[in-house]
Amino acid sequence: MPDSTMPSPTSTHRDEEKTIQPPVPDNPTPDPALPPEGGLRGWLCCAGGSLGFFATLGFLNAIGIFQTTYQETLLKDYSSSDISWIFTIQLALIWAPGSLFGRIVDTYGPRPVMLPCAFLCVFSLCMTSLSTKYYQIVLAQGVGYGLGAGGIFTTSLVCVGQWFVKQRGLAMGITVGGSSIGGVIFPFFLRLVMQDVGFEGMVRYTALFIGIALVASFFLLSARLPPKKWDSDVACIDVTLFKERGFAFYALGSYFVMWGLWAPFDFLPSMALLGGMEESLAIYLIAIVNASSLFGRVIPGHIGDQVGYFNVIVASTFFSCIAILCLWLPFDYHSSNSGLVVFAVVYGFFSGAFVSIMMPCCAKSGSLETLGRQIGTYQGVIAIA
């Protein structure tokens, strides 16, 4: 008869399992792939990103002031199409280096990109104030400022995106809303300062103004993920993203949207002047567009958190097209000041969603650790437009 005091094999195995199980900590470490949905540091980062957008895309939203000024003064011997190339290059360089800047932010955090790019923005505007030739303005304002603004732009997108998931649309709407505030303030600022100190002085004061905003942005922006070592085997552009049908169609559609998205910001004041509108009102059309786009940045972003980002961006792009076809293009056949103001309000709201929902749409195709590569790959596509 077996000894009843001997432990059974089953009970021995269970005892061994109990002895090798690790203790459960009282405060388990949160999953690094899940952001804390803001917190103080997250919302401070959002404020820093908003200042970055204010100083870069917000300034670019006021390019109509420079277009009109160049046509009437420094570059009056050049066509409006030639002058617009300055801002086309500037805009393209905001998007094009995104893959490199995004990869650097993914690896080392925001500081290695923010510091040199902030300096380049201020330096290029100082050089613009000294420029008298077309090629000099292209190099300073087009190439120099475009590259600097591109670094600030990408860094702001990536850093804010690391802190939010469920409220990502709202957070990005607030962040990108800084560009709308800049688009409201800069037309007034540029016009008033230019009346007092002339064009060259205005550009220098603008450089100082932007420099202050970028210093504040530098200290507020922070990465949630720790720095890593540079992996030379990882490419800056992630071509595997295009195997995902959703990302591929989104990038292709955005490419075509970029063909005309910024056209009203560039030509609206000049078009209004040709139609007989008073110069003071024509200049402030840009401010009207951007004031309306502030609501278009935040509200659709918050709605996107609830109903889906792709649904919102498709709807906003559709209504932006309707505004151009029905309110702006007929201006050539029947000029109306009130019609242009209505267009500025409608187009500003619906076009505002494009940039604010851009990053949440890209983030659907990968992890937080490679968010910079995802955004950079997407930016490389739309830069070609």
Q: Are residues 68 and 213 in the same domain?
A: yes
Percent of the chain whose predicted confidence (pLDDT) is above 70: 87
How does the average pLDDT of the chain come out, rounded?
83
Residue 175 has pLDDT above 50, yes or no: yes
**Which helix (H) or strand (E) segment is 243 a member of?**
none
Residue 6 lies in a domain: no
Q: What pLDDT, on a 0 to 100 scale, did the predictor assign at position 2? A: 47
Least confident of 13-17, 80-84, 300-304, 326-330: 13-17
What does the pLDDT average to over 191-213?
93
The conformation of residue 77, written as its DSSP 8-state character, comes to T
Per DSSP, the three-state class of 359 is helix
The per-residue DSSP string of 118-171 comes to: HHHHHHHHHHHHH--SHHHHIIIIIIIHHHHHHHHHHHHHHHHHHH-STTHHHH
At 226, which CATH number? 1.20.1250.20
Q: Are residues 100 and 242 in the same domain?
A: no
Q: Are residues 240 and 331 in the same domain?
A: yes
Least confident of 8-17, 32-41, 177-186, 330-339: 8-17
Q: What pLDDT, on a 0 to 100 scale, did the predictor assign at position 88? A: 87
Contact of 172 with 356, CB cutoff 8 Å:
yes
Q: What pLDDT, on a 0 to 100 scale, did the predictor assign at position 333? A: 55
pLDDT tens digits along 45-103: 999 999 999 999 899 877 878 888 898 888 988 888 889 899 889 988 988 888 889 88
Give the Å distances, CA to CA, from 318 to 137, 262, 305, 313, 324: 35, 15, 19, 8, 10
Residue 28 has pLDDT above 50, yes or no: no
Residue 3 lies in a domain: no
Q: Are residues 83 and 225 in the same domain?
A: yes
Residue ending a domain, choose from 233, 250, 278: 233
Q: What pLDDT, on a 0 to 100 scale, did the predictor assign at position 35? A: 58
Better-scored residue on pLDDT, 217 or 327: 217
Show the CA angle centred on residue 49, arms to residues 48 and 54, nearest 5°: 100
Residue 262 has pLDDT above 90, yes or no: no
Least confident of 164-173, 278-287, 297-306: 278-287
Q: Are residues 171 and 316 in the same domain?
A: no
Domain residue limits at 95: 37-233
Q: What pLDDT, on a 0 to 100 scale, did the predictor assign at position 331? A: 66
Number of domains within the chain = 2
CA–CA separation, 170 and 297 (whole Å): 9
pLDDT category of residue 281 using cuts at 50, 70 and 90: confident
Residue 202 lies in a domain: yes
Residue 26 has pLDDT above 50, yes or no: no
Residue ending a domain, choose from 233, 253, 286: 233
Residue ending a domain, choose from 233, 266, 297: 233
Q: How far is CA 285 from the centre of its chain?
A: 22
Give the Å distances, CA to CA, from 218 to 52, 85, 185, 222: 8, 30, 21, 8
